């Protein structure tokens, strides 16, 4: 029998251990949740749950408010701390504002996750690195939006007689040395070429041109031995690749300006060659060499006066066009009104007049300092992107010292609503409802809520919510052992994540009752995942909705994703699964085990190894609930596949006995238990509350959240949309409690 030794990866100082129990007991529910977060697949954290052989008695945690209970007459509406835009909210904001989809937040410090989400204000901070990266992003965005315009393009002209490097890169070099410079032009014989090494500052379109005389061959000249006529073929090359060629053949001496379009993929220094050749070279005096007297026998083909490389001014980016209500060159009035528009969108409210005054002063100072119109304007744009009014969802109190709760302003409410339902700033329609104040009316708020739920930007919020709630972000880091699970592949992982997200999004937006998450008799499979589940193949690479033929799958506890993230790389973890269900689905996560306990050997098949938990009274209190829940899912391996025996061939019972003696058997048993648990619906409601208000529920919050689901009618029938609507109308959402 192979055993898996689980160790705590850290252990605590004995100094800290004493008295910890008491300290924990004093923590409020909110604090507790804040410091002991849901176990988002944190393998090293969960292993400590098994390491429970210490002697410190875990105190009973304060009971969660039963969802049936009536909230206090005047529940405290709680308070969300100043909300910094999360990284994804930042990206969505600059997309809405500037049409920039580059995702600048990839360079920001990562957001910290709490209560299952990455925008929870309680744990947000602003580090020095945030300052550095925000500034870089603001300057880059401002530059790409406005700064480019001061770049009016360029023309680098190289005179042909300038045949010495002048110390820089913009020098003309004569590859074939010729001192025949007459009248400021260079004479070309067959196969001669000149080249320049010059800088192409951005990827994009350029023009390369040259002025040349092609020599005269009256009447086309006499036919050559091969029947053709003498001509001059001018060719341009970029790094030895021909991108332009033109034959000149005339009856009179011709002076012409030739222009060639050139697209440069990679900015930097490139080489441009200009050459002349006679394709009917009689004497084999081609570029590869020929008889020594070629030059003497070969007439000149032409003369080059100058070569140039130019780039047009960069096209106005679309993001700028959307803000272009007038020409900045018209003067300060236009500058001010453009800034007003930009500020209106960035700050999610109309700017105060003194705010515009200050931006104008910044603009003027830059102009005085010699900056161009566009550079100066770009600085104002950067200042807006670095403003706390952009980076934070600012809410203020009428009197900073007041303590009486008050409604949010229409603009604050619009921002909160929009970031909740679209993960981005208000669109124009919502902004208009905020401007005229009508959003404060219940009916308008309801209508806007419904409109946003159906809007084009809502799906990104849904994806954000589902990847976090369903734990598929954790799946990224899950690493089932390649030895034990050779079939596990990145494709399978993707299919699992997609399945979980689609299930959640389907139930959310159909909308179906929330609690259907526990036992939906359908799921979303492609062939790869169906094969993994040993279900009939739907015949598609893409996930399709399928009805499930039996009880072996269905609901979020039957998802490969859920089962994998609640496993160690080598085996399923009953403890992780139990804790996940209690914490994530019932919002009743048990506290971590006492610190400083020696490691416990957990048996692979589960039940035996867990006996230590029940043998030790200190562990029993939590593990008598955790373990049977986890054991019921024992028919699912660490890669989410179904199993009936463990790795040693020992049959797995998948049976747990709850403290009250109830037997929970297999997936069907546990999901019924979850679905019927009163805490489940209330907990889903609480997650939505947490997400919407960006705070860890504290004080009366859990009670308010539970009441939201209950208020929508029959128990177990509330949909996510119902809860969204009730939540948005609640005082907790619409009002603000000063400190």
Partner 1 sequence: MTRASNKLSRRTVLRGFGTAVALPFLEASAQEPPRRRFLAYQTPNGVNLPNWNGAMDPMAQATVTNLAQSATLAPLLPVHGSYLTQVNGLSVHHVGNTGHHHAVSGWLTAATCMDGSLRLCINPPSQNDLTCAPAGISLDQLLASRLPRVTRFRSLELGPFFWVDLSDSVCGNMACPYLFNVSWINGSTPAGRDTDARRAFDRIFAGSSPLENTAARERRLRQRLRVADFVKDDVQRLTRRLGTEDRRRLDQYFSAIAALEDDLRQAPPAPVCATGAPVDAVGDVFGDPRAYLRAFRRIMVLALQCDLTRVITFMVSYSGSPGYSYAAAALPGNGPGPNGSWVYSNGQPSNILQSPHHEISHWTAPTGNDAPTLLEFQNTKRHALGVIDKFYATELSALLSDLRAIDDGAGNNLLDNTLVYYGADMSDPDLHSTLNLPLLLAGGTGVSLRGNRVLNFQDSAANLHIAIAQLFGVPLTTFGNDGTRPLPGVFS
Shorter beta-carbon distance to partner 1: residue 275 or 343: 343
Footprint on residues 422-441 left by partner 1 (CB under 8 A): none
∠ CA 266-267-269 to the nearest 5 degrees?
A: 110
Shorter beta-carbon distance to partner 1: residue 27 or 323: 27
Q: Are 672 and 662 in contact (CB under 8 A)?
A: no
Q: Distance of alpha carbon 114 from its chain centroid, rounded?
A: 18
246-283 burial code (b ≥16 CB/10 A, e <16)? eebebeeeeeeebebebebeeeeebebbbbbbbebbee
Pairwise CA distance, residues 255 & 302, whole Å = 9
Report strand pairing: 83-84 vs 392-393.
antiparallel
Q: Output the smallest distance, CB 383 to partner 1, in A.
A: 5
DSSP line for 154-203: EEEEEETT--S--SSSSEEEESS----EETTEEEE-TT-EEEEEEEE-SS
Pattern 186-225, binding to partner 1, x per CB under 8 A?
Answer: -------------x-x------------------------
Footprint on residues 681-710 left by partner 1 (CB under 8 A): none
Stretch that binds partner 1, among 217-225, 409-417, 507-515, 588-596 (CB under 8 A): 588-596
Stretch that binds partner 1, among 94-102, 136-144, 213-221, 616-624 (CB under 8 A): 136-144
Q: Kindly state whether residue 25 participates in binding partner 1, applying the rule CB under 8 A.
A: no
Footprint on residues 364-423 left by partner 1 (CB under 8 A): 365-366, 369-371, 375, 378-379, 382-383, 386-389, 391-392, 394, 396-397, 400
Q: Nearest Cα to 60, choosing from 594, 591, 612?
A: 591
Please select the residue that binds partner 1; options are 55, 74, 125, 183, rule is CB under 8 A. 125
Footprint on residues 623-682 left by partner 1 (CB under 8 A): 647
Stretch that binds partner 1, among 112-120, 182-190, 272-280, 453-461 (CB under 8 A): 112-120
Shorter beta-carbon distance to partner 1: residue 71 or 107: 107
Please select the residue that binds partner 1; options are 99, 494, 596, 672, rule is CB under 8 A. 596
Pattern 56-95, binding to partner 1, x per CB under 8 A?
Answer: -------------------------xx-x-----------
Helix (H, G, I), strand (E, B) or coil at 81: coil
Q: Kindly state whether residue 128 participates in binding partner 1, applying the rule CB under 8 A.
A: yes
Please select the residue that binds partner 1; options are 70, 132, 446, 537, rule is CB under 8 A. 132
The answer for residues whose C-beta is within 8 angstroms of residue 628's C-beta and 6 or more apart is: 578, 656, 657, 658, 664
Evaluated on CA atoms 705, 706, 707, 709, the torsion sign reads positive
Shorter beta-carbon distance to partner 1: residue 11 or 246: 11
Shorter beta-carbon distance to partner 1: residue 474 or 677: 474
Q: Output the smallest distance, CB 631 to partner 1, in A.
A: 21
Q: Output the smallest distance, CB 80 to partner 1, in A.
A: 10
Pairwise CA distance, residues 377 & 383, whole Å = 10
Residue whose structure tokens are 């993960």: 423
Tokens of 58: 């875990």
Q: Kindly state whether residue 107 participates in binding partner 1, applying the rule CB under 8 A.
A: yes
Q: Kindly state whether residue 28 participates in binding partner 1, applying the rule CB under 8 A.
A: no
Q: Output the smallest distance, CB 576 to partner 1, in A.
A: 13
Please select the residue that binds partner 1; options are 101, 169, 242, 446, rule is CB under 8 A. 169
Tokens of 472: 């598929």
Stretch that binds partner 1, among 94-102, 305-313, 549-557, 596-604 (CB under 8 A): 596-604
Please select the residue that binds partner 1; options are 228, 317, 599, 699, rule is CB under 8 A. 599
Cβ atoms < 10 Å from Cβ of 668: 18
Stretch that binds partner 1, among 41-49, 66-74, 313-321, 576-584 (CB under 8 A): 41-49
Please tell me the count of residues contacting partner 1 according to CB under 8 A. Answer: 96
Q: Output the smallest distance, CB 507 to partner 1, in A.
A: 24
Q: Kindly state whether residue 103 participates in binding partner 1, applying the rule CB under 8 A.
A: no
Pairwise CA distance, residues 159 & 164, whole Å = 11
Q: Kindly state whether residue 333 participates in binding partner 1, applying the rule CB under 8 A.
A: no
Q: Output the smallest distance, CB 112 to partner 1, in A.
A: 5
Residue 737: exposed, middle, or buried by beta-carbon count in 10 A (0-12, 13-18, 19+)? middle
Q: Nearest Cα to 419, choosing from 404, 403, 408?
A: 408
Pattern 3-22, binding to partner 1, x per CB under 8 A?
Answer: x-x-xxxxxxxxxx--x---
Shorter beta-carbon distance to partner 1: residue 123 or 452: 123
Q: Kindly state whether residue 358 participates in binding partner 1, applying the rule CB under 8 A.
A: yes
Footprint on residues 516-555 left by partner 1 (CB under 8 A): none
Shorter beta-carbon distance to partner 1: residue 52 or 160: 52
Pairwise CA distance, residues 104 & 100, whole Å = 9
3-state secondary structure 84-112: ECCHHHHHHHHHHHHCCCCCHHHHCCCCC
Residue whose structure tokens are 């360029």: 154
Q: Nearest Cα to 675, choosing from 569, 555, 588?
A: 555
Shorter beta-carbon distance to partner 1: residue 578 or 592: 592
Q: Kindly state whether residue 44 participates in binding partner 1, applying the rule CB under 8 A.
A: yes
Q: Kindly state whether residue 479 participates in binding partner 1, applying the rule CB under 8 A.
A: yes
Pairwise CA distance, residues 454 & 470, whole Å = 22
Q: Output the smallest distance, CB 535 to partner 1, in A.
A: 28
Q: Output the smallest distance, CB 679 to partner 1, in A.
A: 22
From start to end of 455-561, where are the E strands?
522-525, 544-547
Q: Kindly state whether residue 250 participates in binding partner 1, applying the rule CB under 8 A.
A: no
Please select the residue that binds partner 1; options are 52, 58, 94, 114, rule is CB under 8 A. 114
Tokens of 479: 């690493």
Q: Kindly state whether residue 127 participates in binding partner 1, applying the rule CB under 8 A.
A: yes
Please select the residue that binds partner 1; options are 89, 118, 281, 627, rule is CB under 8 A. 118
DSSP line for 419-483: HHHHSS---HHHHHHHHTSGGGSHHHHHHHHHHHHTSTTHHHHHHHHHHHHTTHHHHTT----TT
């Amino acid at each position: 029998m192979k055993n898996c030794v689980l160790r705590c990866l850290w252990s605590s100082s004995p100094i800290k251990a004493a008295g910890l129990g008491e300290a924990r007991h004093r923590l409020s529910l909110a604090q507790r949740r804040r410091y002991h977060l849901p176990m988002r697949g944190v393998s090293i954290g969960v292993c400590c749950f098994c390491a429970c052989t210490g002697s410190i008695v875990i105190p009973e945690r304060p009971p969660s408010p039963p969802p049936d209970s009536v909230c206090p007459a005047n529940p405290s509406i709680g308070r969300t701390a100043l909300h910094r835009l999360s990284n994804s909210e930042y990206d969505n904001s600059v997309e809405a504002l500037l049409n920039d989809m580059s995702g600048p937040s990839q360079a920001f410090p990562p957001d910290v996750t709490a209560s299952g989400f990455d925008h929870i204000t309680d744990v947000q901070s602003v580090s020095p690195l945030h300052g550095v990266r925000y500034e870089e992003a603001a300057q880059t965005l401002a530059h790409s939006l406005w700064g480019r315009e001061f770049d009016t393009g360029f023309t680098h002209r190289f005179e042909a007689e300038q045949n010495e490097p002048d110390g820089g890169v913009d020098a003309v070099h004569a590859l074939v040395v010729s001192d025949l410079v007459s009248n400021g032009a260079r004479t070309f014989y067959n196969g001669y070429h000149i080249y320049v090494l010059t800088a192409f500052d951005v990827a994009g379109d350029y023009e390369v041109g040259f002025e040349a005389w092609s020599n005269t061959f009256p009447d086309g000249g006499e036919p050559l031995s091969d029947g053709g006529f003498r001509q001059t073929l001018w060719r341009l090359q970029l790094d030895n690749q021909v991108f332009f060629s033109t034959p000149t053949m005339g009856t009179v001496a011709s002076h012409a300006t030739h222009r060639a379009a050139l697209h440069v993929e990679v900015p930097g220094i490139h080489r441009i060659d200009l050459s002349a050749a006679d394709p009917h070279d009689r004497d084999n005096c081609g570029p590869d060499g020929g008889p020594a007297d070629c030059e003497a026998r070969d007439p000149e083909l032409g003369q080059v006066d100058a070569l140039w490389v130019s780039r047009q001014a960069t096209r106005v980016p679309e993001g700028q066009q959307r803000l272009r209500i007038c020409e900045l060159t018209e003067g300060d009035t236009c500058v001010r009104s453009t800034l007003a528009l930009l500020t209106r969108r960035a700050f999610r409210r109309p700017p105060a007049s003194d705010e515009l005054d200050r931006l104008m002063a910044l603009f003027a100072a830059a102009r005085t300092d010699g900056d161009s119109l566009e550079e100066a304007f770009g600085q104002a744009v950067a200042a807006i992107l670095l403003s706390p009014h952009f980076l934070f969802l600012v809410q203020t109190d009428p009197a900073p010292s007041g303590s009486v709760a008050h409604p949010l302003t229409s603009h604050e409410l619009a921002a909160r609503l929009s970031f909740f339902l679209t993960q981005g700033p208000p669109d124009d329609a919502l902004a208009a409802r905020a401007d005229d104040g009508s959003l404060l009316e219940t009916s308008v708020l309801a209508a806007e809520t419904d409109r946003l739920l159906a809007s084009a930007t809502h799906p990104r919020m849904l994806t954000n919510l589902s990847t976090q709630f369903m734990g598929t972000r954790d799946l990224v880091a899950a690493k089932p052992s390649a030895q034990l699970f050779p079939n596990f592949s990145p494709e399978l992982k993707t299919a699992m994540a997609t399945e979980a997200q689609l299930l959640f999004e389907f139930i959310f937006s159909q909308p179906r009752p929330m609690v259907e998450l526990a036992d939906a008799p359908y799921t979303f499979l492609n062939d790869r995942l169906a094969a993994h589940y040993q279900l009939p193949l739907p015949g598609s690479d893409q996930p399709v909705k399928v009805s499930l033929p039996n009880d072996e799958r269905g609901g979020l506890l039957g998802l490969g994703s859920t089962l994998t993230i609640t496993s160690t790389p080598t085996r399923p973890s009953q403890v992780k699964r139990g804790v996940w269900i209690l914490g994530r689905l019932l919002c009743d996560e048990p506290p971590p085990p006492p610190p400083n306990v020696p490691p416990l050997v957990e048996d692979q098949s589960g039940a035996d190894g867990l006996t230590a938990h029940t043998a030790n009274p200190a562990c029993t209190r939590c593990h008598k609930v955790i373990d049977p829940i986890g054991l019921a899912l024992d028919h699912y391996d660490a890669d989410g596949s179904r199993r009936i025996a463990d790795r040693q061939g020992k049959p797995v019972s998948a049976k747990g006995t709850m403290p009250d003696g109830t037997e929970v058997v297999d997936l069907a048993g546990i999901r019924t238990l979850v679905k019927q648990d009163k805490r489940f619906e209330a907990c889903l409601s609480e997650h939505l509350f947490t997400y919407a208000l960006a705070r860890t529920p504290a004080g009366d919050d859990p009670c308010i959240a539970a009441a939201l689901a209950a208020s929508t009618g029959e128990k177990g029938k509330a949909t996510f949309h119902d809860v969204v609507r009730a939540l948005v109308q609640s005082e907790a959402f619409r009002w603000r409690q000063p400190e």
